[in-house]
Structure 1
Amino acid sequence: MSTSDRSPLRTAVALVSAVGLGGGGLLLGFLLVSVALAVLTYGLGIELSASALIVLSLVFVQGVGCAGVALAYLKLRPAVGPEIRSILGFDGVPGPFDIEADLPDLRGVAIVVGGYVVALAAAFGGSILVTLLQVDTGTNQAAEIGMENPEVLLILIPASILVIGPGEELLFRGVVQGRLREVLGPVAGIILASSVFAGLHWFALTGGSAAGNLVALGVLVGPSLVFGAAYELTDNIVVPSLIHGIYNATLFTLLYVVIVFSDQLPDPQNATSALLAVL
């Protein structure tokens, strides 16, 4: 699409679609988790462990919510898209929309390794900024559960690569970034998709001040930009999924080590705070 085709209405529709798809996937997942919890806890009288809660969340939020909405969009767009364009008075025919998923070639592997290193550097650079600003940041709910129940982290480590990375990247890079790229181009698509991804993590934070949580979300934008750039460079959703998954797995592994071996570390409190600032 040329720059002249980027009318205010097209831009607004793309932005609303991006936020709606990203937020809708997470909202669907959380609603399904709530229903499942209500049925299991109040209906069947089953008391779920922390590990069971995490598994339930992974299945419904990243699995059904994120991946399900992304796949539904791919399936329904050819039928629903033309009707919406007709209602809005858009001319022309939209190009094909697909999400490629292949085993990375050598270039892709290099981008996975480089992206992982840059994402971690961006995250820990952000944690230093949080420390210097001395702001009160909230805690990611999954990390909070993991701190109280370290065995949960042993589930989150492989799940990061197998479920969290693929599910979230399929939705936020494959669909949200892809949708924004159509109208606004690749650079704006990466920046806005990363901002949407980071912004929606507000609802996963507990505690902290408003200013502190905004800073925490700003820190998350750094790794998100890496995921988005990796997808744009390769057009292969497997690449950002691997970077995202290994990145998360590394942070959960480090958090597990700090918690379990806290009595053997010189400053476990600062180490924990640094990790919580980027999770």
Structure 2
Amino acid sequence: MSERTATFGFRDVDAREKPSLVRGVFDKVAGRYDLMNDLMSAGVHRLWKDATAARLNVQPGEVIVDCAGGTGDMARRFAKMARAAQLRRGLDKDAVVHVIDYNAEMIAAGRERGSEPEITWAVGDAQRLPLPDACADGYCIAFGIRNVTDIAAALREARRVLKPGGRFVCLEFSRPTSEAVRAAYDLWSFKAIPAIGELVVKDRESYQYLVESIRRFPDQQTFAQMMRDAGFSRVTFTNFTGGVAALHQGWAI
């Protein structure tokens, strides 16, 4: 991959072409995106997301960016968490959770599921967020950064919008830590997931892309270094399910 190309599954494409290709994938899968996540992970993605929300630990009055927030799975967790803390502590400051996603169909699917008073919805690009500098206390991107054309640019943009001391969390598929897990995961990914996509969404090609995009994403250590290069401090990661997914965390210090 060069500055003029970007990954799209196992292919390298013109970087200018990738956004429309990714948009086409999510236009097709948006309506059943959440159902497919349950089927593909046997529901385990919910546990990973719960752990990610707990790590971000949203508090009343905070401003949170849920980038590539899609149907609002993470945003609803953040809103519920902040509201519970608000009631427990008798505070009157609502949290604000900005769901920003490049794909209008995903945003529409999220809104159709219903919203929460803390949540706002907007179509926007992770590489050029429609937000001012140092405006957010926390930033989350869950299963979205591998679809960004320029990952380094998205990380720098996340760093830009965070206040000093702001928290960054990224949940993404990663590299299994053992050969046994890797072999089983490859079998499931390349054989079962595209077949499930074809059966449930009538779209094998999109899920083939999603599986391939996982394999092209940097491993845990490489991504952690990319975060440091973007200006994040105290960078750590936690493997989930033997490294099938990983939660990366950093601070805007």
TM-score relative to the length of structure 2:
0.27
Decide which structure has greater helix share.
Answer: 1
If the length of structure 1 is used for normalisation, what is the TM-score?
0.25
Largest Rg, 1 or 2: 1
Higher relative contact order (CA 8 A, sep 6+): 1
